[in-house]
Amino acid sequence: MEIRNLPDLCHDHLRRAGAIYRSDDSEDVKKTTLKALLLKTETCKRCQRLRHGETEPKIMNRRIVPSWNGTNLVETPPSDLEFFSSRQRRVEEFMSKGLFPLPTLPEPLMSKLFELSPPVLNARPGATRLEDSFVLPRVIFIDEEYILKWFTSFPGHFVRGDKVKEIFESPFRMPTAICDQLAAVGETSMSSLEFWIILRNGERVPCWYGGYNPFIELSRQNRPNDIVDVEIGRRSVVGEEAVLAEPDFVWCVYK
């Protein structure tokens, strides 16, 4: 049975077509089954979207206002910050722009930080209450060594460690086992991470991130702890009608 030159199919119908091709049925049965499947795709919104050239799916959790809206303690690096491949030159540049030296986290907060879920490459996801009482629901805590090792410049939206008054677990963090699998892959293609989360009730939710991110924004009736498994694959969600995008977060920088 020939399955080349098929019309554009969403991930679900493409997977079904592959299953038909690999089945042990006779050629005639395969052709009949495939014909019936292709007929169903005529009313599939996801397949039709692809066939009309609409390659970008809708975003289920589109955010208009950033999560740090309401506090003046979240900063962005200066626009004239220069890039240097040399570690020493970067330190000098950060110093000249007032980004270094980083503040030290007080011992009580440091102890609380290390109580958070296991880090990935020493970056710890959590949440924090700032000195102005504003709560940042999604924060990744990174130290000076992490910045110099993994960043070519300086983190985007960030808050300094001396502005933090309380540290606690983020209600948006995915389970550790799921985070570990996503972090191990990092990207399914350049600046893209496609995956499906499987919920306790059997629901499958397509997600399309720019890269690894330990946080997720689910519908109100579901929580990250309801995630029981993950399936990761390149072009596995691009054909979906709508996807979950990665939620925003703030870096907390400290020494």
Give the residue extent of every domain in the chain: 11-51, 58-63+174-252, 87-169
Q: What pLDDT is attached to residue 122?
A: 84
Lowest-pLDDT range of 64-68, 97-101, 115-119, 207-211? 115-119
Q: What pLDDT is attached to residue 57?
A: 78
DSSP string, 176-207: HHHHHHHHHH--SBTTBEEEEEEETTS-EEEE
Spell 212-222 as b/e; 16+ CB within 10 A means b: bbbbbbbeeeb
Provide the mean pLDDT of the chain. 92
Q: How far is CA 219 from CA 117, 155, 200, in A?
A: 23, 29, 14
Q: What pLDDT is attached to residue 55?
A: 66
Q: How far is CA 88 from CA 93, 95, 148, 204, in A?
A: 9, 11, 9, 47
93 vs 239, residue with greater confidence: 93
Q: What is the pLDDT of residues 181-240, one digit of tens each?
A: 999 999 999 889 999 999 999 999 999 999 999 999 998 889 999 999 999 998 788 777
- What is d(CA 162, CA 102) in angstroms, rounded to the nearest whole number? 9
Lowest-pLDDT range of 46-50, 153-157, 198-202, 243-247? 46-50
pTM above 0.85, yes or no: no
Backbone angles phi, psi at 177, to 5 degrees: -60, -35
Tell how strand 242-245 and strand 164-168 pair up. unpaired
